[in-house]
Amino acid sequence: MKKIVTQDPRKNKIDAFLCRAAAFLLCFVVCICRCADGMSYVRAEEAASVSETAPEDAATGEGTEEQSAEKLVIVIDPGHGGEEEGGMYDSFVEKELTLITAKAMKEELEKYEDVTVYLTREDDRKLSLEERVAFAKEVNADFLFCLHYNLSKDHNTLFGAECWVSAFGRHYSEGYAFADIEIGALEDLGLYSRGIKTRLGKKGTDYYGIIRHAVEQDLTCVLIEHCHMDHENDRPFCEGRKQWETFGRLDATSAAKYFHLQSDVLGVDYSDYPVMDVPIPTGVMRPDMTEPDICMIEVTKQEMETGDVTVALSAVDYDSGMLYYDYSYDGGNTFFPRLAWGDKAQDTITFTMNVPPHIVPQIVVRGYNGYDLYTESNLVSLPSMDYKTQEEIAAELAEQERIAAAAKAGEEERAKQNAVAEENQAKRYRELLEKGNEKEKEPTISYFLTVCLVCALLVVSLALSMALILRRGKHKKRHRRKRRRRR
């Protein structure tokens, strides 16, 4: 007989309750996941909408929209503006040059991906240094480039390009790393490098206001002095708009290399460009305030016939290196214009000067370091060189040619005078002949009487001669007769 098993009704109720609870929890989890996905989609759409509507550029000095965190933001500051014209030389006005260069730099940088570029001014307006830095801070700039052109105090004294950076912390490190690329590019262009330098004011902070205010806003700034407008060495690089724009494109390329940018438009990729690793200094990177440590000269050759003197110059500055030298042959009373040191890795260089004749040369040289401080060398006295200069030789040749020309002219004049005299004499002879012929053709009474007189005289002379001859003959006959009688 089969046994019948009955279930407990309470257990069935519990199982049913657990099943419904599990189903409810599963539905709740699914709803939560779908809500989370929906919110992410909405946020993504909002972010895309903001990115599409945000302006790529902002009006100078006006409020700007917040940029995407992925984009690099660069601000370019054209130095000076408005009443503040900057350096002026010949027809050049610095504020005009910097604006042209800055616009070219901006145009070139905007050809790279993931970069937004602003100018502190796009026209001729005056802005304080604080306003320029405030604008850069407002647009969340990653770097501030301040563009300038240089002049020396006495004109035609200094030449070359240089970069000024902050003397403090990461701003020094970042600024120096970029400036290393920039100076290299300017040297490749043909300019002489005056170096990468810091400068401090009386309060021990950065001297240049644009750099000082940028550091206060935790912003790195580099001031670029492209070249000297007033020096013959640099003028070929900044004669016109085309060259000012070339500087701007060069600056942009240096920035692209520093930030590892790439451009499909330009077909370049600097993602792997090697940037100098500059350690962040723990202290202040002070400028060099001392003259070169060593400066000595030795005369290695003296050409007595030409006045050429070859000098070996040895100079060392352990802080900022050597930059220029100039020389004097009158004991330091007057110096020739400064010359580039050349190979800065060498402590000794050789150069040749030309000493004028008829003086006692006293050679002295000054060596300049990276901050234009100099040390004067020992003095070397040399024997006088009484050679003739090219000018004197040329003057002598000219005098000889003048004398020869004068002599030739005299001979020609004398020959001409002789020719004229001979011609006059021949003319007078011809005239006499003509007069004689005329007299022969037309004899006169005086001519006839003269002829008669001459004939008479001839007859008388003949008669007298015959008489004398006859008389002498008679005298000889008498003498013979007398001699015969005596015998």
Higher pLDDT, 461 or 2: 461
pLDDT at 36 > cutoff 60: no
Instruction: Report pLDDT digits (tens) over 421-454.
Output: 888 888 888 888 877 666 555 566 777 788 888 8
Q: How far apart are CA 422 and CA 420, in angstroms?
A: 5
> What is the separation of C-alpha 271 from the centre of its chain, rounded to a whole number of angstroms?
34
Higher pLDDT, 46 or 151: 151
Instruction: Report pLDDT digits (tens) over 159-191.
Output: 999 999 999 999 999 999 999 999 999 999 999
CB-count exposure of residue 487 (10 Å: 0-12, 13-18, 19+): exposed
Specify whether the CB–CB gap between 401 and 320 falls below 8 A.
no
- So what's the pLDDT on residue 440? 57
Instruction: Report pLDDT digits (tens) over 215-232.
Output: 999 999 999 999 999 999
The pTM of the whole model exceeds 0.85? no
pLDDT band of residue 331 (cuts 50, 70, 90) is very high
Instruction: Mean pLDDT check: name the lowest of 132-146, 322-336, 459-473.
Output: 459-473
CB within 8 Å of 64: residues ≥ 6 apart: 55, 58, 118, 138, 139
Instruction: Report pLDDT digits (tens) over 338-360.
Output: 999 989 999 999 999 999 888 89
- So what's the pLDDT on residue 370? 96
pLDDT band of residue 193 (cuts 50, 70, 90) is very high
pLDDT at 8 > cutoff 50: no
Instruction: Report pLDDT digits (tens) over 19-32.
Output: 455 555 544 544 44
Gap between the terminal Cα atoms of the chain: 252
Instruction: Mean pLDDT check: name the lowest of 68-72, 125-129, 235-239, 255-259.
Output: 68-72
Phi and psi for 383 in degrees, rounded to 5?
-65, 150
Q: How far apart are CA 260 and CA 272, in angstroms?
A: 7
Q: How far apart are CA 64 and CA 44, in angstroms?
A: 23
- So what's the pLDDT on residue 49? 34
pLDDT at 313 > cutoff 50: yes
Average pLDDT over residues 360-371: 96
Higher pLDDT, 128 or 306: 128
- So what's the pLDDT on residue 415? 86
One-letter amino acid for residue 3 of the chain: K
**Coil, strand or helix at 100:** helix
How much is the mean pLDDT over the chain? 85
Average pLDDT over residues 391-402: 86
- So what's the pLDDT on residue 170? 98
Instruction: Report pLDDT digits (tens) over 260-295.
Output: 999 999 999 999 999 999 999 999 999 999 999 999
CB-count exposure of residue 112 (10 Å: 0-12, 13-18, 19+): buried
Average pLDDT over residues 70-78: 95
- So what's the pLDDT on residue 30? 43
- So what's the pLDDT on residue 55? 33
Q: Which of the given ranges, 64-78, 160-174, 466-480, has the highest pLDDT on average? A: 160-174
Q: How far apart are CA 347 and CA 357, in angstroms?
A: 31
Instruction: Report pLDDT digits (tens) over 129-167.
Output: 999 999 999 999 999 999 999 999 888 899 999 999 999
pLDDT band of residue 39 (cuts 50, 70, 90) is very low
Q: How far apart are CA 41 and CA 52, in angstroms?
A: 17
Angle at which helices 241-258 and 169-189 cross, to 10°: 130
pLDDT at 17 > cutoff 60: no
- So what's the pLDDT on residue 387? 81
pLDDT at 61 > cutoff 90: no
Average pLDDT over residues 405-421: 86
Bridge partners of 366, per DSSP, are 326, 376
